[in-house]
Amino acid sequence: DIHLTQSPSFLSASVGDGVTITCRASQDISSYLAWYQQKPGKAPKLLIYAVSTLQSGVPSRFSGSGSGTEFTLTITSLQPEDFATYSCLQHYRYPQTFGGGTKVEIK
């Protein structure tokens, strides 16, 4: 199975800050990497797929980059509604696997 390692697992930031979350795959997954946002008690919401393509309706302050085994999610100018947990997903092959998640909290 393909293992995804996310870092950091937790970060504290202020409104207006920029943050970057990293997702490393245990093997080459080409561009088959997606990012989700999840708030407490809610289902995950797809933000980005194919590394850098924003899902419809997702603000442009979210961006993704990378290829192969290393990927990043960047949020420029954090907004109050962005404080949540972010998870990466590899959809290169089954079993599809998620990273462990990064919780972004308000400093």
Partner 1 sequence: EVQLVESGGGLVRPGGSLRLSCTSSGLTFSPYSMNWVRQAPGKGLEWIAYISSSSGTIYYADSVKGRFTISRDNARSSLYLQINSLREEDAAVYYCAANIVVPGMVFDNWGQGTQVTVSS
Closer to partner 1 by Cβ: residue 14 or 60: 60
CA distance 58 to 1: 30
Closer to partner 1 by Cβ: residue 18 or 28: 28
- Which residues lie closer than 8 Å to 35 by C-beta, 6 or more apart? 23, 46, 47, 48, 49, 62, 64, 73, 86, 87, 88, 89
Q: How far is the CB of 35 from partner 1 (least distance, A)?
A: 10
- Residues from 9 through 68 that contact partner 1 (CB under 8 A): 32, 34, 36, 38, 42-46, 49-50, 55
How far is C-alpha 31 from the chain's CA centre? 14
Binding flag, residue 95, partner 1 (CB under 8 A)? yes
CA distance 59 to 55: 9
| Contact set with partner 1 (CB under 8 A) | 1, 32, 34, 36, 38, 42-46, 49-50, 55, 87, 89, 91, 94-101
